[in-house]
């Protein structure tokens, strides 16, 4: 039983970081109908920014976390302004957008390799990270608590923004229908940039969280999280933000359980297995319409 509880704690902290990343990824898909495969690279940028601020500038981690979010958000906006925006204005096909986002990811990874090398770097250890408490046979690390808390904080802030503000209403209107949004006077261009910023900032936050949690930062760390993001995107129902948050937690838990009860090597297979089953059972996703209804 205590093994189960232990794994639940581990799974929740891991899953909450997945959820933060996936919520941003899902937001882009839901609001702008963009499948941005550069999101994993933006996550990596966030992880490196946080790391360098802590290591070189010796900023306290919470501050570094915020700056990393802003930086990752800014990089995300930059990709929109420089690549995705112009491509959309030229009427590029959706597939072109996918290719462009892959190229952007590759570019960011290449730059990171150039600047930081290919070695795995680590966040310097701090006393509170090492701290741990044992409650009823379950060991809870300070680190895990912090990751879980920041994740909840970030997602709560997003929920407030989306649900309780004018800006949030505007973004949700765009998700509903961009033409309607334009008609009712939503500043579509500005909201697009804001959505990219939020998605980037969430990716950056997850980057620092997982960088600290795994104690490993490398230029290639974005690839794995991108696959997780895609998994969660489907599990949560394409474009459904609360669904993504839940599915992120669920994925973290299933991964940890499968390592605990099956074998560590099948951790990644579990997520994809779930995706596969969901797609087969609900071939149009959880909220999809069929072509035959679109005539």
CA 131, CA 185: separation in Å to the nearest integer?
A: 52
Cα–Cα distance, 97 to 95 (Å, whole number) = 5
Size of the site for other proteins (CB under 8 A): 50
Binding other proteins by CB under 8 A: which of 99, 138, 145, 152?
99
Considering only 100, 147, 199, 225, the residue that binds other proteins (CB under 8 A) is 100
Beta carbon of residue 97, minimum distance to other proteins (angstroms, whole number): 8
Instruction: Tell me the window of 4-12, 61-69, 171-179, 268-276 that interacts with other proteins (CB under 8 A).
Output: 268-276
Tokens of 191: 């909201």
Is 183 a binder of other proteins (CB under 8 A)?
Answer: no
Closest CA to 43 of 148, 199, 163: 199
Interface with other proteins, residue 238, by CB under 8 A: yes
Among 3, 57, 81, 103, binds other proteins (CB under 8 A): 103
Choosing from 142, 168, 178, 273, the residue that interacts with other proteins (CB under 8 A) is: 273
What does the alpha-carbon distance between residue 134 and residue 144 come to, in Å, rounded to a whole number?
13
- Residue 216 and residue 46: Cα distance in Å, rounded? 13
The least distance separating other proteins from the CB of residue 178, rounded to whole angstroms, comes to 16
Among 66, 138, 216, 227, binds other proteins (CB under 8 A): 227
Q: Does 35 bind other proteins (CB under 8 A)?
A: yes
Q: Which of 3, 57, 94, 124 binds other proteins (CB under 8 A)?
A: 94
Give min distance, CB of 218 to other proteins, in A: 15
CA distances from 47 to 2, 54, 64, 176 (A): 32, 11, 10, 32
End-to-end CA distance of the chain: 54
d(CA 42, CA 207): 8
Helices (H), the chain: 2-32, 39-55, 61-79, 85-89, 94-116, 127-130, 142-164, 166-176, 178-183, 188-214, 221-235, 241-261, 267-281
Contact residue for other proteins among 230, 232, 251, 253 (CB under 8 A)? 230
Place of tokens 């300070």: 142
Question: Does position 266 bind other proteins by CB under 8 A?
Answer: yes
127 binds other proteins (CB under 8 A): no
- Would you count residue 27 as binding other proteins (CB under 8 A)? no
| 125 Cβ neighbours under 8 A, 6+ residues apart | none
> How far is residue 233's CA from residue 243's CA, in Å, rounded to a whole number?
9
Q: Does 137 bind other proteins (CB under 8 A)?
A: no
Given the rule CB under 8 A, which residues bind other proteins?
35, 83, 86-87, 90-96, 98-100, 102-104, 106-107, 109-111, 113-114, 227, 230-231, 233-234, 238, 263, 265-266, 268-269, 272-273, 275-276, 279-280, 283-285, 288, 290-293, 295
């Amino acid at each position: 039983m205590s093994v189960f509880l232990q794994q639940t704690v581990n799974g929740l902290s891991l899953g909450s970081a997945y959820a933060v990343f996936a919520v941003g990824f899902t937001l882009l898909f839901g609001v702008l109908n963009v499948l941005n495969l550069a999101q994993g690279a933006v996550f990596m940028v966030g992880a490196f920014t946080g790391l360098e601020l802590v290591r070189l500038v010796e900023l306290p981690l919470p501050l570094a976390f915020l700056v990393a979010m802003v930086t990752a958000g800014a990089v995300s906006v930059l990709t929109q302004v420089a690549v995705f925006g112009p491509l959309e204005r030229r009427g590029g096909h959706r597939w072109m957008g996918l290719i462009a986002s892959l190229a952007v990811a590759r570019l960011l990874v290449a730059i990171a390799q150039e600047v930081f090398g290919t070695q795995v770097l680590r966040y310097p250890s701090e006393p509170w990270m090492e701290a741990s408490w044992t409650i009823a046979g379950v060991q809870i690390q300070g680190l895990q608590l912090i990751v879980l808390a920041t994740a909840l904080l970030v997602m709560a802030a997003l929920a407030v923004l989306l649900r309780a503000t004018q800006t949030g209403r505007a973004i949700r209107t765009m998700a509903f229908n961009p033409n309607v949004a334009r008609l009712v006077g939503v500043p579509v261009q500005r909201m697009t940039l804001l959505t990219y910023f939020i998605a980037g900032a969430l990716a950056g936050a997850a980057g620092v969280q997982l960088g600290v949690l795994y104690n490993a930062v490398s230029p290639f760390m974005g690839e794995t999280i991108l696959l997780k993001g895609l998994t969660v995107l489907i599990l949560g129902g394409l474009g459904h933000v609360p669904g993504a948050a839940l599915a992120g937690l669920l994925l973290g838990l299933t991964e940890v359980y499968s390592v605990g009860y099956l074998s560590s090597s099948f951790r990644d297979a579990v997520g994809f297995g779930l995706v596969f089953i969901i797609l087969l059972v609900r071939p149009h996703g959880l909220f999809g319409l069929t072509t035959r209804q679109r005539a």
